[in-house]
Amino acid sequence: MPASSPTLSDTGAVLCAVLILLVPLAGAGLALINTGLGRSRSAAHMMTASLCVVSVAAIAYCACGFAFQGFAGLPAHVVMIGGKPWSWLGRGPIFMRHMTLGASPASLATLLGMFSAGLAALIPLGAGADRWRLGACSLSTALLAGLTYPLFAHWSWGGGWLAQLGANYGLGQGFVDGGGAGAIQAVGGLTALAMAWILGARRGKYAHDGMPSAIPGHNAVYVVFGCVLALVGWCGLNSAGAILFSGTDAGAVVRVAMNSLLSAASAALTAALVTHTRFGKPDASLTANGWIGGLAASSGACAFALPVEAIAIGIIAGLLVPVAVEWFELRMSVDDPGGSISAHAMGGLWGVLSVGIFASMSPHAIGAAGEPVRAGQWLAQVVGIATLIGFMLPLTYGLNWALDRVYPQRVPAEGERQGMDLYELGAGAYPEFLTHGDEFTER
Amino acid sequence: MKILGFLLLVSGWAITLTAVALLAQDVPRAAFILAGVGVEIVGLVLVIRAHPVRRGEHD
């Protein structure tokens, strides 16, 4: 990872800006998936919550998120350990004051970071569906977009200590995460796990003997259409991330988009095969989760993996996601209606590791002959995974636990009985579906 | 048990960081980094085992 800011031609900057503007489609896709996999009586609440968390994320990221995240070459808090610099936190001004917003790489990274923070904030919503209060998920998003996401993003994208593991300690190119498999997917997915633990299961999900009951999603069409939207957004996210954070040239966009699609496609087909083998028929929601898991996994190595490697990454993600969904629900008693933990946390962590396994070329030599990745790349990726599980998970759990003490995050039992739409918004998403008793009485 | 699990998670991360910062040779460094990940896995298991107790708490 480069310690200094990358340089972009005018064409490259315009292309990068256009790619970044596709990223909100990934957010729209996730919002539709979360809504479709939840109950119909919480559908309007989920879409409203999605809009609210994206709004809070944008403002929180502007207020302090980018200041903490920073960018390669910008000021940062650095501690010297054993004579080596460890950059822990960005040192930018709050509310992006004194920053010239234009076509510079730092400006583009700011815009991408703002959209990415919103995307990361949408992930826990899927795990908290049908029981997470609107105000609480907005406050939790402020913590995510203002602190936890920017912290890891600085370490991996902002010239932080993880990115410098190669330069300082000879661990390959340092931690590589071009599209945000760690910074967006794993951070969002681990926050989803923390929220599922803090909120507890939905009422009626688990019997007293611990056996879970199936609460199917209410609209498979939303879910599948969300997957298609997510693909477009992911192509933009992975491509822009590769240009800004992995130092690839703009011409690598074709390769990145192709790898993203191949990974998602092979993951969805694998998930369909796995569920067909296990249940006799392919499962729509698990196939969709497999697709998202493949996209999340692709974010790690998409910039420099070969197409066949992208397929392999997707196949493993497609095996991992359905197994993880079942494991979380049956073994860990984690109620995750949207499958966010399995698709984003497990897919993202696998995507991070896949860089160390499948990195056949240097991320700085895309399109050229390519130099072999220096030894130790896998170790840099393992250090990144250890940081995600060993530091980010306790941090996000602790922050949300403290928030829950001050402002209870779970809706009261009456809210779950009525549905989040009626209880929190006062109106449902599908009013014409209501049966009014007085319409059927004889006059 | 939950607090102990989270402490082990952070301890495993600290072992990993210490190995990166202090060990120069490849094999001992890799061994200690993997040991740190192992400690994290133990911590994660403890945290997971602590949470099913809350199952049905809201039922």
Distance between CA A215 and CA A194 in Å, rounded? 21
Taking Cα atoms as reference points, which of A203, A227, A199 lies closest to residue A215? A203
Residues of B with CB under 8 A from a CB of A: 6, 9-10, 12-14, 16, 20-22, 26, 29-30, 33-34, 36-37, 40, 43-44, 48, 51-52, 54-59
- Backbone torsions φ then ψ of A86, nearest 5 degrees: -115, 110
**Structural domain boundaries of chain A?**
10-440
Distance CA A395, CA A417 (A): 32
| Tokens read off for A76 | 């940062």
Q: How far is Cα A68 from Cα A93, in angstroms, rounded to an integer?
A: 9
| Residue pLDDT, tens place only, B15-58 | 999 999 999 899 999 999 999 999 999 999 999 988 864 444 44
Torsion angles phi and psi, residue A23, rounded to 5: -60, -40
Closest CA to A31 of A121, A118, A122, A112: A122
- What is each CA distance from A239 to A14, A75, A343, A403, in whole angstroms? 13, 26, 20, 36
* Nearest chain A CA: its distance from B31 CA (Å): 10
Tokens of A286: 């698990």
Q: How far is CA A156 from CA A37, A105, A384, B37, in A?
A: 32, 16, 8, 19
What pLDDT score does A5 carry? 66
pLDDT at residue A97, as a whole number: 87
What CATH number was assigned to the domain covering residues A10-440? 1.10.3430.10
Which of B16, B22, B56 is opposite residue A383, by nearest beta carbon?
Answer: B16
pLDDT of amino acid B59: 46
**Distant-in-sequence, close-in-space partners of A285: CB < 8 Å, separation ≥ 6:** A37, A216, A217, A220, A223, A339
- Chain A positions contacting chain B at CB under 8 Å are 81-82, 84, 165, 169, 171, 197, 200-201, 203-204, 206, 208, 210, 332-334, 375-376, 379, 382-383, 385-387, 389-391, 393-394, 397-398, 410, 413
| Residues in chain B within 8 Å Cβ distance of A84 | 21
For residues A148 and A395, is the Cβ–Cβ distance under 8 A?
A: yes
CB-CB contact of A89 with A68 (8 Å)? yes
Neighbouring C-alpha atoms within 13 Å toward the C-beta of A168: 23
Sign of CA dihedral B9, B10, B13, B19: negative
**CB-CB: which of A203, A206, A390 is closest to B13?**
A390
Q: What are phi and psi of A36, to 5 degrees?
A: -65, -30
The answer to whether the CB atoms of A334 and B51 lie below 8 A apart is yes
Give the Å distances, CA to CA, from A433 to A31, A39, A40, A130, A430: 22, 14, 10, 19, 6
Q: What's the number of CA atoms in the CB half-sphere (13 Å) around residue A263?
A: 34
**Which of A144, A189, A148 minimizes the C-alpha distance to A324?**
A189
pLDDT in tens, chain A (443 residues): 445 667 788 888 999 999 999 999 999 999 999 999 999 999 999 999 999 999 999 999 999 999 999 998 889 999 999 899 999 999 988 998 878 888 899 999 999 999 999 999 999 999 999 999 999 999 999 999 999 999 999 999 999 999 999 999 999 889 999 899 999 999 999 999 999 999 999 998 988 888 888 899 999 999 999 999 999 999 999 999 999 998 888 888 999 999 999 999 999 999 999 999 999 999 999 999 999 999 999 999 999 899 999 999 999 999 999 999 999 999 888 999 999 999 999 999 999 999 999 875 544 443 334 444 556 899 999 999 999 999 999 999 999 999 999 999 999 999 999 999 999 999 889 987 764 445 444 54
> What's the full length of chain A, in residues?
443
Nearest to A286 by CA among A189, A220, A346: A220
Q: Residue A412: its pLDDT value, please?
A: 94
Six token digits for residue A124: 């826990």
φ, ψ for residue A212, nearest 5 deg? -80, 150
Closest CA to A76 of A179, A10, A159, A144: A159
**Whole-Å CA distances, A256 to A10, A227, A236, A300, A404:** 20, 18, 9, 11, 40
Amino acid identity for residue A343 in this structure:
A
**How is residue A39 annotated by DSSP?**
-
ipTM field: 0.93
Q: How far is CA A84 from CA A5, A79, A80, in A?
A: 20, 8, 5
Question: Closest partner residue to B13 among A206, A375, A391, by Cβ?
Answer: A391
CA A187 to chain centre: 7
Size of interface A-B (CB pairs under 8 A): 78
Residue A336 contacts residue A328 (beta carbons within 8 Å): yes
Nearest to A393 among B9, B16, B59 (CB): B9
Contact B57 A81 (CB under 8 A): no
Structure tokens belonging to residue A401: 């636990």
State the nearest Cα–Cα gap between A23 and chain B, in angstroms.
Answer: 32
Instruction: For residues A125 and A123, give the distance between their C-alpha atoms in angstroms, rounded to a whole number.
Output: 5
Q: Do A203 and B58 touch (CB under 8 A)?
A: yes
Q: What is the 3-state secondary structure (H, E, C) of chain B?
A: CHHHHHHHHHHHHHHHHHHHHHCCCHHHHHHHHHHHHHHHHHHHHHHHHHCHHHCCCCC
Rounded-to-integer distance, Cα A150 and Cα A160, Å? 11
| Phi, psi of A79, deg, nearest 5 | -115, 135
Distance from B16 to chain A by nearest Cα, in Å? 7
Q: Rg of the Cα trace of chain A? A: 21
Instruction: Provide, as residue numbers in chain B, all residues whose Cβ is less than 8 Å from the Cβ of A397.
Output: 6
